[in-house]
Amino acid sequence: MAPAAGSTKGAAVDPMDDLFPRVDLDSLMKGTSILADSKSDAWKTKKEGLETLQAILDQGANKRLKPNMGV
């Protein structure tokens, strides 16, 4: 009988990690005011914060994020 789909027994390593390593978004946002700006009531400040986040996400081709953000 085949193992269940959600089974962790014998979990394989993702081969994409060797080619394109995962990046921790928390470390990219460290030292910025993106989170505070995106929660602002002023729409211009919120827009600037979200544009800064978009710029971080757009930099570097084939960037992959780690699955444990905010943990």
**Model pLDDT for residues 8-62, shown as the tens digit of each residue:** 554 567 788 788 778 888 887 888 889 899 899 999 999 999 998 888 888 766 5
Amino acid (one-letter) located at 54 = Q
pTM, 2 dp: 0.58
Question: Which helix (H) or strand (E) element contains residue 23?
Answer: strand 22-23
d(CA 21, CA 64): 7
d(CA 23, CA 41): 30
